[in-house]
Amino acid sequence: MPTSYDKLWKILIDKKMTKEDLRKALGFSPSTMAKMGKGENVSMEVINKICEYFKCNYGDIIDYLPEGK
């Protein structure tokens, strides 16, 4: 189930933050950020923490990409 985090990366750019800034602010492991960088699935706990941090909804940070498209 491919996932795109491009919307999240755009938010980071707009807020002049790096992925490392986000990782440290929310206490994520480097492997969690690596998974997101590769478009892999992460836990809903991770997604929830990001949404809470940025006060946004799931659709504001991720997109589901149907396989084969």
pLDDT, greater one: 54 or 2:
54
Q: What does the pLDDT read at residue 1?
A: 60
**Residue 49: left if φ>0, alpha if ψ -120 to 50, beta else—which one?**
alpha
For residue 49, give every residue at least 6 positions away whose Cβ sits within 8 Å of its Cβ, in sequence order, or none. Answer: 26, 28
Task: Spell out the domain ranges in the chain.
Answer: 3-64
Residue 6: strand, helix, or coil: helix
Length of the chain in residues, anyone?
A: 69
- What topology does CATH give the domain 3-64? 434 Repressor (Amino-terminal Domain) (1.10.260)
Q: What does the pLDDT read at residue 67?
A: 78
Give pLDDT tens digits for 15-62: 999 999 999 999 999 999 999 999 999 999 999 999 999 999 999 999
Model confidence at 65, pLDDT cuts 50, 70, 90, reads confident
Distance between CA atoms of 16 and 48, rounded to whole angstroms?
A: 21
